[in-house]
Amino acid sequence: MSETDVHGSLLDVRGITKRFPGVLALDHVDLQLERGEVHALVGENGAGKSTLIKIIGGVIRPDEGTLTFEEADVPHLNPHSARDLGISIIHQESELASTLSAAENLFLGRQPRRLRCLVDCRRLHREARTWLDQVGADFSTRTLVRDLAISERRLLELARAISMHAKLVIMDEPTTVFTDKEVQNLFRLVRELRSRGVTTLYISHRLEEIFSIADRVTVLRDGQRIATCPIDQASEEQLVRWMVGRQLKRDFPRRSTPPGEEAFSVSGLTRHGVIEDVSFSVKRGEIVGLAGLVGAGRTEVADAIFGASKFDRGEIRLDGELIRIGSPADAIRHGIGYITADRKLDGLLLSKSIKENISLASLPDLSRFSFIKWQTEKSEAHRYKDLLQIKTPSIQQLAMNLSGGNQQKVVFARWLLVHAKVLILDEPTVGIDVGAKQEIYRLINDIAEEGRCVILISSELPEILGMCDRVLVMRGGRIIRELKGSGATQEEILYYSAGLKEATSTATTRETY
Amino acid sequence: MRHDDRPRKPLSTAAKLGQGAALYMWRNQKALLALLFIAVVFAFLTEHFFTFYNLVNVARQTSICAILAAGMTLVLTLGDIDLSVGANAGFCGVIAAFLLKKVGIDVPVTFLLVLGVGGFIGLLNGFLVAKVRVPFFVATLATMSVLTGASFLITGGYPFSLLPKAWRLFGRGVIWGVPAPVIIMVLVFVILQIVQSRSILGRKIYAVGANARAARLSGINIDRVRIVAYTLCGVLAGLGGIVVSSRLDSGDPSVGPSFLLTMVAAPILGGTKLSGGEGTMMGTLIGALVLGVINNAMSLMGLNTYWQDVGRGLILLAIVIPQITRRRS
């Protein structure tokens, strides 16, 4: 990307230091943002990205350091004054009022008025429409936010930022739940913002994205700024090296043993209007990928197999025997485990200890006469903590105090402890930093090596291709294609997921990859 | 960092026990400190506070509320509130008196029947909340009203008094110098503390309170856990009703509503979170004792009952507000 549209400094952060009890979150960090640039901020979990954003957004106060916005000192920033200055944050977790409509959210606190105290509904929706059109959102302005998909909520937040004439838009991991098409749309918007002189601070774990959208990149590690440079002077390996402080090759570990005989199969699985006639099988020791866009029905298939949602028709067989699954408890009894996409919402007891989280699905096995055998529980938790290398001083540590990667390992430990024969993984590496991702990949391979069946749902195509023996591409609730893991390409999967013809697959390459 | 993250040294059993006790005290420090502080203050303010007779008296006065608060703690740990516990206890007291006096059933059978009635009412609450999906606030508010009204209907507005002598054991009996209600209270708390911290059920209640979705996806039947917790809460309300009817030597329909505030305040003071997933029985016991001491002191200082109500309300706010502001910061 060029730097021709840079017009001087917008935000100058100097020597910012922030201490939390026992942690130096930011250590004399500098950050300069130019007008109209797209600036990427990268770093592993715990590197201090969120803290830095919160300081720029006025949510928390720094202990030391200065902020200069448009050449003026802004010492006592709070969320309101930050917004008034033109700083908009699009948070990872949406901060919209879920029971209000899209239009009401867009103009929350500044609705067009009539007679001073009445909301001018007609104007509200008319103006909301124009802003939503600008960001390429096609949902109605009257849709309640709780009925919007997460990706649509992000667009709504973006529309709000634009409508407030933000000069700096901060996006915290905006694409974690996006399909590739949505990512492309977002990139188009970011470029449009840039052409209007709006600055974007873009935080992402996906390095491919950063290379296709950013002008410059700043790397944080352990609360310190490691480097800032134009993107065309950095390579992916270089960035990763800066982030983790050591050389790290992003590749997928190989497995030595080939898959065994067929062990798990699903046939004709149907939930009306959601999934249609889904059939597939998994061999012992095989990793089968479910690819597709968000909304293609991948998670819904997992939910149905695990008994988390009902299905209308279909058979599930394990080791040749037909099994009936009416609830997650049934699925677990038959040896099926499920790691959900949202580990905080559906996976962890955040306020409880690692030990209690690991033992949660195996309580009957750890008990005698309905009372938990304390020693056994403790030693099992220790065993899996060591086995998965969960980094924590104690198994009494609360789950909420762990990093994303370690939290995910706790969830893995839970399902290893129940000796699940079939493990369904839904986006197992979302929001996990690069180093921990490698460990999760190795873990998944080990699980397969032990002869278990693994079903891997992922929106990261390199992950699907790197990990899976076979890939099933879903679209509109159906499996539309089966591909060999080794021979398939990202383009191939993309074209099938998007419903395009195979013939064009060699003609164009998508920009992100 | 957290206080329990120190590197582990090998410890003797005694040292381990000591460490465990110290840790426990630290975690419940606020309630305990409050208890000690208040006790010392009142020892100076009033002449009779630190007499054996008065302390036993405090424990006895606390016992009924504490038993009800124990049941309430189970439901609070789920993230719910059972507003009907006090009314259930009052109703059970009336039923006990009715069975003893009007039907003429003997004492042991009545005892079991009344526990069953309390448990059934709890079961009904649990069923309404878990299966019919009535919000807990509405469901238990409704049962509270039904039970209060029913108590008055059964007695015709007047207490049934002069119950059989043997019935007096539960509320007025004294064993080795300790009043029976205090013994019952201690037994209840010891048993429930073990259930809560060591049993599968206890763990499941915590899990449902901490994250019901995760609990369900880990194979826990959350509806069943909820129903069982409400039922246990109801059984304890029955027990509370037995003790109160025995203590008053009558089935008095007007006692139920007076318990509500203390029942909610004691667990909160003892560290139970209204959002669910956290809390201990021992914390609740200490919380109940703190409130008991405060009640006793207010009586000793000669405050009339209306002022005592005002005082209790203010104390509840004083307990809760620091917790909330600490969480916010």
**Is residue A1 very low, low, confident or very high in pLDDT (cuts 50, 70, 90)?**
very low
Nearest to A370 among B2, B201, B277 (CB): B201
Across chain A, mean pLDDT equals: 85
Measured in angstroms, the CA of A361 and the nearest CA of chain B are apart by 5
Global confidence as pTM: 0.76
Q: Residues for chain A: how many in total?
A: 513
Q: Which residue matches tokens 């590690």?
A: A221
**Contact: B214, A22; criterion CB under 8 Å:** no
Q: Are B89 and B238 in contact (CB under 8 A)?
A: yes
CB count within 10 Å of CB A48 equals 25
Whether residue A50 has pLDDT greater than 60 = yes
- DSSP character at residue A395: T
- By C-alpha distance, the chain B residue nearest A60 is B329
State the pLDDT at residue A247. Answer: 44
Fold for the domain defined by A262-335+420-513: Rossmann fold (3.40.50)
Q: Are A503 and A488 in contact (CB under 8 A)?
A: no
pLDDT tens for A89-143 read 887 766 788 888 989 888 887 778 777 778 888 888 998 999 999 888 888 889 8
Coil, helix or strand at residue B247: helix
State the pLDDT at residue A112. Answer: 80
| Domain boundaries, given as residue ranges, for chain A | 1-86+170-249, 97-165, 262-335+420-513, 345-419
Q: Which stretch of A384-393, A417-426, B81-90 has the lowest confidence by average pLDDT?
A: A384-393
**For residue B217, which residues of chain A lie inside 8 Å, CB to CB?**
306, 308, 328, 338, 340, 346-347
How far apart are the C-alpha atoms of A357 and A349, rounded to whole Å?
A: 6
Nearest to A364 among B200, B210, B213 (CB): B200
Q: Mean pLDDT across the stretch B132-159?
A: 92
Query: What does each C-alpha distance from A229 to A5, A11, A24, A513 come to in angstroms?
Result: 17, 17, 25, 22
pLDDT tens for A428-468 read 987 777 778 888 999 999 999 999 999 999 877 788 888 99
Angle, alpha carbons A237-A240-A243 (nearest 5°): 150
Q: Are B200 and A363 in contact (CB under 8 A)?
A: yes
Q: Mean pLDDT across the stretch B202-228?
A: 95
Q: Mean pLDDT across the stretch B114-126?
A: 97
Whether residue A225 has pLDDT greater than 70 = yes
Name which of A348, A411, A405, A403 is nearest A384 in CA terms: A411
State the pLDDT at residue B327. Answer: 58
Domains A1-86+170-249 and A262-335+420-513 share a fold: yes
pLDDT tens for B11-30 read 566 666 666 666 555 555 56
State the pLDDT at residue B204. Answer: 96
State the pLDDT at residue B326. Answer: 60
**Is residue A508 very low, low, confident or very high in pLDDT (cuts 50, 70, 90)?**
very low
Q: Mean pLDDT across the stretch B141-147?
A: 95
**For residue B329, which residues of chain A lie inside 8 Å, CB to CB?**
none
**Contact: B214, A370; criterion CB under 8 Å:** no
**Is residue A512 very low, low, confident or very high in pLDDT (cuts 50, 70, 90)?**
very low
Name which of B263, B224, B235 is nearest B63 in CA terms: B263
Interface of B with A in 205-264 (CB under 8 A): 206-207, 210-211, 213-221
**Is residue B328 very low, low, confident or very high in pLDDT (cuts 50, 70, 90)?**
low
Coil, helix or strand at residue B83: coil
Fold for the domain defined by A1-86+170-249: Rossmann fold (3.40.50)
Q: Are A39 and A215 in contact (CB under 8 A)?
A: yes
How far apart are the C-alpha atoms of A477 and B111, rounded to whole Å?
A: 59
Q: Hey, what domains does chain B have and what are their CATH numbers?
A: 30-328 (1.10.3470)
State the pLDDT at residue A17. Answer: 92
Give the type of residue at B4: D
Q: Are A56 and A87 in contact (CB under 8 A)?
A: yes
Measured in angstroms, the CA of B221 and the nearest CA of chain A are apart by 7
Cβ–Cβ contact B321 with A under 8 A: no
Angle, helix B260-269 to helix B52-78, in steps of 10 degrees = 80
State the pLDDT at residue B17. Answer: 62
Cβ–Cβ contact B24 with A under 8 A: no
Write down the ipTM of this complex: 0.83
How far apart are the C-alpha atoms of B293 and A40, rounded to whole Å?
A: 60
CB count within 10 Å of CB A68 equals 16
How far apart are the C-alpha atoms of B171 and B45, rounded to whole Å?
A: 30
**Contact: A329, B1; criterion CB under 8 Å:** no
Task: Give the β-pairing of A313-318 and A321-323.
Answer: antiparallel
How far apart are the C-alpha atoms of A382 and B8, rounded to whole Å?
A: 14
**For residue A352, which residues of chain B lie inside 8 Å, CB to CB?**
206-207, 210, 277
Torsion of CA A316, A321, A326, A327, to 10 degrees: -90
CA atoms within 13 A on the CB side of B289: 23
**For residue B215, which residues of chain A lie inside 8 Å, CB to CB?**
349, 360
Nearest to B211 among A22, A338, A350 (CB): A350
**Is residue B5 very low, low, confident or very high in pLDDT (cuts 50, 70, 90)?**
very low
Task: Give the β-pairing of A313-318 and A470-475.
Answer: unpaired
**Contact: B211, A364; criterion CB under 8 Å:** no
State the pLDDT at residue A107. Answer: 87
Q: Which residue matches tokens 């397969």?
A: A448
Element spanning B112, H or E: helix B107-130
Name which of A383, A449, A451, A445 is nearest A422 in CA terms: A451
pLDDT tens for B187-201 read 999 999 999 999 999
